[in-house]
Amino acid sequence: MDRSLKQKSASAYLYPPIDPFDQRTLDVGDGHTVYVEQCGNPAGIPVVVLHGGPGGGCSPAMRRYFNPEHYRVILFDQRGCGRSRPHAAVSNNTTWHLVRDIELIRETLKIDRWIVFGGSWGATLSLIYAQTHPDRAAALAIRGVFLMTQLELDWFYGGGAGRFWPDLWDRFTKLIPEDEHGDLIAAYHKRLFSGDMMQEIKYARAWAAWENALAAIDSDGVTGESPADYARAFSRLENHYFQNQGWLDHDTAILNRMDRLAQIPGVIVQGRYDMICPPISAYRLSQAWPMSTLKLVGRAGHALSEPGISAELVRAMDRFAAQRASLGL
């Protein structure tokens, strides 16, 4: 499969572009409004798409992983990013606020149960949401697994990934005085929330560039400069969540609660050479989740746009569509 995938882009495996049939902003309380859209078949299988970051926002490409004849696709921008407001805001913005927002969206759209689809931080949020509301999650499709553990944060912000990309790691760390290198998340936090807009944008672009450069397996390390608004929201929200360990009560909280998903089927799609979220987390998750199937994709990194990852995700969603009756949807 890898040889043929090298000759195709991810778009070759996706369904054609579609436009939403419904777009709205939802008041979720706490001074926040959240952008929500629906596309596909209004009578189709409901699936909620949880984007990465935190702070990444959803994109039109995310609509294309689902057969529009079979699926009712719900996408939304999480608090503080994309078209949600206030922009780049971290007040009243925690994992548990997002879980409540997902439930409010489900109730507002009068959906009883749905499939949950998410990647990277979206995979984290998918698992936490399903563990909190297992009666509402009919199945999960997740990609690029991140379990919000200190080991994962140390890998990416403590020098692990930097051993493979020393030139980019040097660029990321040299903006910070050496005596603060022991905790780069805290060091960037200080600057991303300094109150000086120009400084915040400078450090936001550096934070985003470090991650973006390592996302794809064929990356040469060169990334364009992110737009200021996007970089600031993405970096502030991501740093805010990591600084607070996702508001989980202990380091292995997700793995320790996998019994709550014992009856829920899932597909885990993971790039073999994911530099941002190494495959060990996906493997450990699969071991703790008997109802899951792990698909390790060779010659693939972290990005949703990797051809092999896109192909596996579309196959997974096509299989779930064929199982609509057994899933109770």
Query: Would you state the torsion angle of the CA atoms of residues 197, 155, 244, 114, taken in this order, to the nearest 10 degrees?
Result: 100
Percent of residues, the chain, with pLDDT higher than 90: 95
CA distance 94 to 159: 26
Task: Tell me the pLDDT tens digit for each residue of 37-58.
Answer: 999 999 999 999 999 999 999 9
Query: What is the model's pLDDT at position 224?
Result: 77
φ, ψ of residue 137 in degrees (nearest 5): -100, 110
Q: Which two tokens stand for residue 81?
A: 């990013």
Query: In Å, how far are 18, 150, 227, 229, 235 from 193, measured between CA atoms?
Result: 38, 22, 18, 14, 10
Q: Which residues are catalytic?
A: 120, 274, 302
Query: pLDDT-based confidence at 5, cuts 50/70/90?
Result: very low
Query: pLDDT-based confidence at 1, cuts 50/70/90?
Result: very low
Task: Tell me the pLDDT tens digit for each residue of 153-192.
Answer: 999 999 999 999 999 999 999 999 999 999 999 999 999 9
Query: What is the model's pLDDT at position 2?
Result: 38
Q: Which two tokens stand for residue 93?
A: 């913005």
Q: What is the pTM of this model?
A: 0.96
